[in-house]
Amino acid sequence: MPNEPQIGELSHERRKRFFWILVVIFIISLPSLIFYTTGYRLSFENEETSIVTTGGVYITTDNLEVDVYLDDEQVERPRLFRSAYYIQNIETGQHRVVVQRPDLHTWVKELPVDPYIVTEASAFNVPVVPVIRSITKYRTVTGSAVYFDVSTTSDFFSGVTTTYPYVLSTSTATSSYELNEEYVFVESLFSTTSTSTQSVFEMFLNGMERFRFATTSDSVDSDSSTSTELIVSKGGIGIINRDGELYAVWQEDVSSIPYYFCIVHSSASTTELRYGKHVSDEIERLSVSTTSPLIADDNRVCRPEIKLDRKQKDVYFYDFMPNTSDLVLLQLEDGLYVTEIDDRSWQNVQQLYPGDDFQVIVENDSIFIHENDNYFEIITEIEPN
């Protein structure tokens, strides 16, 4: 019978020697660890070795089924975050981030990366071809929408797509179908709102109320000091119409102000280089403003308001994008758009639905459209590719 192996303890002298070896290794490696964790890196570019400082970028996305690029180099899919990319060890300076997918509009942002700091941004991508869900007066027992005018329906579905079933009927008989209660509800929403086709700014010039379909979840306030500022609020941010321009205004304490309202500002020239001339100009304007002054927050300055990009077009409707206070819906002359409030470098503006003769309602975090006697919902959730 073989003897079982015997494991003996290290002698006191060997344990002591091993301990001091580990201490020496730790002391030798400690400067390198501190060097690395504080954001310094060795750079071997241009055949010269130099020490550079690094930072990071944290990008949230609508979905992980997108491709993310940093300075034209694709970033690997994250493993720890469900819908965010954390990119480390980025050299300080300006860096371009691109979030894209073939069937979605591309989001691009150029951001400054500072030493030892993680720069945040939130990307969004809406479908290039609008995705809709039909809401018809009648539906089948299985829930499919029913259209009775085949030729009109065929034209209606050009330029859009849907993943929801619908039926084209050549007969006007309705006995085999059931009344769609959602249709009755959506029709009532539009019937109780203004049908004016004047733009927001035409109404402003005419002294009229703003053309907007209010939702049950939003609060609409007016500035008692002036009739030119009319507000819809969400998540601490109010959208106001002032002198023919739309502004996103922070309404709560500076301690919870969104990151994109605040920047590191030292001079007009450096701010213009890092964030764009429009941001630098706004900083200069607000620095002398008595009604909307800059807010100091540690080593940053925070703007109390950000102007929205309306693409130099009239606005017929505006509201917050469902389920977020960082994106705003704008119905312009040629369609319904989504714009981000974050204007660092620029504001990404993406078309959600084209057209020049339709009405919009946002209700219960859904976007409803009324066009050519048709009602439908715009689907904003991105499906996996």
Domains of the chain (ranges, CATH numbers): 40-122 (2.60.40.10), 200-356 (no CATH)
- Dig out the tokens for 343 from the structure: 């204007």
Give SS3 for 98: strand
CA distances from 126 to 85, 121, 351 (A): 19, 17, 8
More confident residue, 135 or 171: 135
Q: How confident is the model at residue 225 (pLDDT cuts 50, 70, 90)?
A: very low
Q: With contact defined as beta carbons under 8 Å apart, do 213 and 193 qualify?
A: yes
Mind listing the pLDDT tens digit for each residue in 324-346? 999 999 999 999 999 999 999 99
User: How many angstroms separate the CA atoms of 246 and 239, rounded?
Assistant: 7
pLDDT score, position 49: 44
Q: Give the mean model confidence (pLDDT) for residues 297-324.
A: 91
Percentage with pLDDT > 70 across the chain: 76
164-173, 189-198, 258-267: least confidently modelled range: 189-198
Q: With contact defined as beta carbons under 8 Å apart, do 250 and 237 qualify?
A: yes
Q: How many CB atoms lie within 10 A of CB 87?
A: 21
Q: What is the pTM of this model?
A: 0.79
More confident residue, 34 or 126: 126
User: How many angstroms separate the CA atoms of 87 and 63, rounded?
Assistant: 17
Question: Does 121 score more than 90 pLDDT?
Answer: yes
- Dig out the tokens for 188 from the structure: 């009532």
Q: How confident is the model at residue 42 (pLDDT cuts 50, 70, 90)?
A: very low
Determine the Cα angle at 100 with ends 95 and 101, to 5°: 160
Q: Give the mean model confidence (pLDDT) for residues 52-65.
A: 80
More confident residue, 28 or 126: 126
Q: With contact defined as beta carbons under 8 Å apart, do 239 and 232 qualify?
A: yes
260 DSSP 8-state letter: G
User: How many angstroms separate the CA atoms of 205 and 201, rounded?
Assistant: 6
Mind listing the pLDDT tens digit for each residue in 176-190? 899 999 999 999 999
pLDDT score, position 23: 80
Mind listing the pLDDT tens digit for each residue in 78-105? 655 667 888 888 888 999 999 999 999 9
Q: Give the mean model confidence (pLDDT) for residues 238-265.
A: 90
Instruction: Tell me the pLDDT of the chain averaged across its residues.
Output: 81
